[in-house]
Amino acid sequence: MQSFRTEIENPIVERDIIELEKKIRLYREGKLQEDKFKSLRLARGVYGQRQLGVQMVRIKLPFGKLTTQQLIRISDISDEYSTGNLHLTTRQDIQIHYVSLDRTPELWAKLEQDDITLREACGNTVRNVTASPEAGIDPNEPFDVSPYADATFRYFLRNPICQDMGRKFKMSFSSSDSDTAMSYMHDLGFIPKVRTEDGQEVRGFKVMIGGGLGAQPSLAHTAFEFLPENKVIPFIEGVLRIFDRYGERNNRNKARFKYLIAKLGLEEVMRLVEEEYKALKSHSFEIDKIIDFNPAPPAQKAIPDFVIDDTDKYNKWLKTNVFKQKQEGFYGIYIKVQIGDISSTTARKLVPLVREFSADEIRVTQGQNLLLKYVREEALPYFFAQLDELGLAEPGFNSVADITTCPGTDTCNLGISNSTNITKVLEKVIVDEYPEMLFNTDIKIKISGCMNSCGQHGMANLGFHGSSLKSGKSVVPALQVLLGGGTLSNGEGRIAQKLLKVPSKRGPEVLRYVLNDYLAKKEENERFNAYYDRNGKDYFYQLLKPLTDLTTLTPDDFIDWGHQDDFQPAIGVGECAGVMIDLVATLLYEADEKLEWAGEAMEDKRYADAVYYGYAAFISTAKALLLDKNVSTNTQNSIMQEFDTHFVETGIFTFESDFKSKVLQINQNQPSEAFAKDYLNQALLFLQEATRYRQEQREPVVE
C-alpha cells in the first residue's frame, strides 16, 4: 500500500491516522498479529463486514449532531470510498460499508478536515455519547443537555482509562422526563433535573446505572435522584475506572457493566467508585455555559413558488412529523428515513433546503431518522413540497409505521436472518392496511438480525430478532417474536418478553394478528402495553401459535426476505466488542508502549493520564508473566491477586507489602507530579525486572 500525506492541523489526530496506516502496513506484511490488529482498527471505527475483504466504517457523531458541510463531506466520502449510501444508526452514528481497509487512513484524514472522527466508534471503549435529538428545542426540557453530552464525549475521547476495557460502554443524555434517549437501557443514563437551593436554581441529573440490551437485557438502577452538574464527569470517570479494573475480560458474554453490578451488587460498585475519588483527574468539572449549542435561526426570506400535489399527505405530515419548538415561532421537522438508509445524492439535495430555511444543524435520531430545527411556520408548506420531491416527506414519524432495524445479514457477521427487507414489508402492511396507525405513537416495532439487539428489539412493544428453525433436514429463516417492552418515563422502561418463533415469511401475519386483536378488543384509550398486561403473555402465545405450524410450510418459506436461494445460516465472528489479546510478547510490548505514552503525558503535565498509563503498564506486565505460567485471569483485579499468589508469595518478586498494594497506590494518591514520577518509575522498574525474568526462564539450561 502507498503512504499518503495528511493535512490535519491537530497533531494528536494526525498521529492517530498515521499510526493506523503504519499498523495496516505491518499487518499486510505479516508483522502484526491479526487479533492485535483487530483491536487497534476497531478503536478507530473500522469494523469487519460479513463480506470478506471489505470494512464497515462507523463515523462518530456525538449526540447525533452534524452540520450541512459535514453531511456533504460524509456524502463525498461515501461516493469515493464506499457505495454512496449513508446508514443512520440507533446510536446516532453514520455507517458506510464496503470500504477497502488500505484506504481507511486516507478516508479518516479527509473526514477530519471537517472535524469528523472515527476514533472509538467501535471496540472496547466509550461508544458514541447519545442524547435526545430534540435537546435545545424541547418544550419540556429543564435545560439543554447538549453541552453536557459534548463535554462527556470530549473528556473521554482518547482518555487512557477507557481505551482497552473488557467491553464497550454506552451513555445517554435525555432532554426531559420523557426519556427519549432511553436512559434505562444504558450503562449510564442522565435525565436533567432542576432544584432550588438557597434561593438559587441548581442544575443536576437523575443518574441511571447498569442498563443494557443485548441477548440478556437488564433495566438500569437509580444511582442518584439528583447529582449536581459539576459532579457528572467525575462520577463517570470513577465508574469507568472500576469497570476497567473489575470487569470481566475472558467471557465476553458476561463482560458488560451490567454483569459487574449483578456480581458485586450496586452498593459495592458505588462504594468502589467513591474510593476512586482521590485519584480522579477532576473532582469537579464545570460545563462551559458560554458555548451556545443552539444554531442560528434562518433569516426571513421570500419563499419560492411551489405546489403541494397531495394535501392529505401534507396534513398527515404536519400532524406526525412536525412539532413546535420551545422557541416561539419555530418548528422542528422529523424526516422519516426507511431502514436508516439515505443516498449521498439525496443527502446533498437536502443541504440547500436546510441552509436556506432551517438552522444549519441536523440531528440523527435513535430511530434512524433525521431532525431539522428552526423552521419558520410560514415555510412549512414549502419545506414539505421540497422534501416530498426528495422522497423525504413520508408521514408517520415515531409511529407504528416507523420501524427501527439494524443492517442484519446485509453486512453484519452476526446476522442470522434478514432484518431490512422484512422491515420494508411490515411498513408497507401498516401504510396500506392500517392507515389510521400512522398516528399511533404508542406502539413501537423494532427488529434486529440476531439476538444482540442492535435494532433495540429488547425494548419494543412488538419486537423481532433473526433466528432459524429446523424442519426435517432443512433450516427455515425465522423471527423470534417479543411483546410488551417500551419506554415509560424518568428512567423507567420495560423489557419485552419472548413469546415464540415463526418462519420469517410469516412476520406480516404476526403483525396483522397482533394489530387486529388490539384494535378489536382494547378498552377505550387503552395503551398497548396495558392491553398486553391485561391479557397476559400466554394469551398472545396462544394467539400466535398457529403461525408456528411447520407442517404447512411452502417452498417460499425456505427463502429469506430479499433473497432468491434457500436459507443457509452462516454466522461469522462478531467484532462489536473488540477482541482479547493474550500473547505474552504482545502484552510486554503494550506495557512498554503505555509507558511511552505516560512519558508524553508527563511532558504535557497531564499527570492523571500519566498515572493511568502507568497502572495499565503494571497490569499488562503482570498478565504477561501469569500467561507464561498458564494462569488464567478474568479481571484486572484478579491479575493483581494471582500475581501475588504465584510470584510474590513464592519469592520470585518482592514488594514492600505486595503487588496489589503497590499497583493500587493509584487510588490512594492524588495525581500530582511527584506521585506520577514515582509511580511511573516503579512501573518501569517492574517491566524491566519482568522482561529480564522471562528471558532467564526462556534461556536453555546448559549442563
Q: How far is CA 59 from CA 64, 250, 465, in A?
A: 10, 28, 25
Q: Which residues contact 242 (CB under 8 A, 6 or more apart)?
A: 260, 269, 272, 273, 276
CA distance 181 to 212: 13
pLDDT value for 570:
58
Tell me whether the CATH fold assigned to 138-279 matches the one assigned to 404-558: yes
Answer yes or no: is pLDDT of 465 > 90.
yes
Q: Grid coordinates representing 236? A: 463517570
CA distance 408 to 387: 28
Contact (Cβ atoms closer than 8 angstroms) between residue 649 and residue 580: no
For the chain, the domains span 11-112, 138-279, 311-389, 404-558, 584-698
Q: How far is CA 427 from CA 402, 440, 502, in A?
A: 7, 13, 19
pLDDT tens digit string along 177-229? 999 999 999 999 999 999 999 999 999 999 999 999 988 999 999 999 999 99
pLDDT tens digit string along 634-652? 999 999 999 999 999 999 9
Give the mean pLDDT of 367-391: 97
pLDDT tens digit string along 21-30? 988 988 888 8
Q: Which residues contact 228 (CB under 8 A, 6 or more apart)?
A: 202, 203, 204
pLDDT value for 26:
85
Residues in the chain: 703
pLDDT value for 288:
86
- Across the chain, mean pLDDT equals 93
**What is 138-279's CATH number?**
3.30.413.10
pTM strictly above 0.85: yes
pLDDT value for 571:
53
* Fold observed for domain 11-112: Sulfite Reductase Hemoprotein; domain 2 (3.90.480)
Confidence band, pLDDT 50/70/90 cuts, at residue 34: confident
Longest dimension (CA), the chain: 97
Q: Grid coordinates representing 58? A: 462507523
CA distance 303 to 300: 9
Nearest Cα neighbor of 94 from 369, 361, 321 is 369
Give the mean pLDDT of 537-560: 96
Number of helices (H), then strands (E), in the chain: 20, 22
Of 516 and 48, more confident: 516
Query: How far from each other are the two terminal CA atoms of the chain, in whole angstroms?
Result: 49
The torsion angles phi and psi of 564, rounded to 5 degrees, stand at -120, -20
Give buried/exposed letters for 485-506 (b at 16+ CB in 10 A, else e): bbbeebbebbbbebbbbbbbbb
pLDDT value for 432:
97
Contact (Cβ atoms closer than 8 angstroms) between residue 461 and residue 483: yes
* Fold observed for domain 404-558: Sulfite Reductase Hemoprotein; domain 1 (3.30.413)
Give the mean pLDDT of 565-577: 60
Give the mean pLDDT of 42-50: 86
Least confident residue range of 76-90, 276-290, 521-535, 669-683: 276-290
Answer yes or no: is pLDDT of 580 > 50.
no
Instruction: Report the 3 state secondary structure along 13-68.
Output: HHHHHHHHHHHHHHHHCCCCCHHHHHHHHHCCCEEECCCCCCEEEEEECHHHEECH
pLDDT value for 337:
98
Of 290 and 197, more confident: 197
pLDDT value for 582:
40
pLDDT tens digit string along 239-274? 999 999 999 998 888 999 999 999 999 999 999 999
pLDDT value for 581:
36
Percentage helix, strand, coil, to 5, in the chain?
45, 15, 40
pLDDT value for 702:
45
* Fold observed for domain 311-389: Alpha-Beta Plaits (3.30.70)
CA distance 109 to 44: 12
Answer yes or no: is pLDDT of 675 > 80.
yes
pLDDT value for 480:
96
pLDDT tens digit string along 294-333? 899 999 999 999 999 999 999 999 999 999 999 999 999 9
Taking the CA atoms of the chain, what radius of gyration do you get in angstroms?
26
Q: How far, rounded to the nearest angstrom, does the alpha carbon of residue 441 sit from its chain's CA centroid? A: 24
Give the mean pLDDT of 655-684: 96
Residue 426 CB neighbours (<10 A):
23
Q: How far is CA 23 from CA 256, 354, 690, in A?
A: 28, 40, 26
Please give the class, per CATH, of domain 584-698.
mainly alpha
